[in-house]
Amino acid sequence: MSKTATKPQPDAGPDLRQKTVPRQGRALETYERILGVAAELLGEVGVERLSTNLVCERAGLTPPALYRYFPNKYALLHELGERLMAAQNQLLEAWATPATMALPRAKFEDSVVALFAQTLQVTEAEPAGVWITRALRAVPALQEVRIASHRHVTRIIEDAFMAAHPQARRAEVQIFARLAVETAYATQEMLFDDPGLDPLAVGRMLASMIGSESVKLRRADRI
* Residue 162 counted as domain residue: yes
- Whole-structure pTM value: 0.85
* Residue 66 counted as domain residue: yes
The CATH number given to whatever domain includes residue 49 is: 1.10.10.60
On whether both 54 and 142 belong to a single domain, the answer is no
In the listed set 17, 38, 73, which residue is the last one of a domain according to the structure?
73
Total domains in the fold of the chain: 2
- How far lies 71's CA from each of 68, 141, 143, in Å? 8, 14, 18
On whether both 66 and 94 belong to a single domain, the answer is no
In the listed set 13, 39, 73, which residue is the last one of a domain according to the structure?
73
* Residue 147 counted as domain residue: yes
Residue 67 lies in domain: 25-73
On whether both 141 and 45 belong to a single domain, the answer is no
Summarised one tens digit per residue, pLDDT across range 123-171 is 999 989 999 999 999 899 899 999 999 999 999 999 999 999 999 999 9
On whether both 41 and 103 belong to a single domain, the answer is no
- The pLDDT of residue 14 is 67
Summarised one tens digit per residue, pLDDT across range 27-60 is 899 999 999 999 999 999 999 999 999 999 999 9
In the listed set 44, 73, 102, which residue is the last one of a domain according to the structure?
73
Average pLDDT over residues 119-124: 96
The CATH number given to whatever domain includes residue 141 is: 1.10.357.10
On whether both 46 and 95 belong to a single domain, the answer is no
Rounded-to-integer distance, Cα 193 and Cα 213, Å: 27
* Residue 181 counted as domain residue: yes
Cβ atoms 111, 142 nearer than 8 A: no
* Residue 5 counted as domain residue: no
Cβ neighbors of 84 (< 8 A, separation 6 or more) are 123, 126, 129, 132, 133, 136
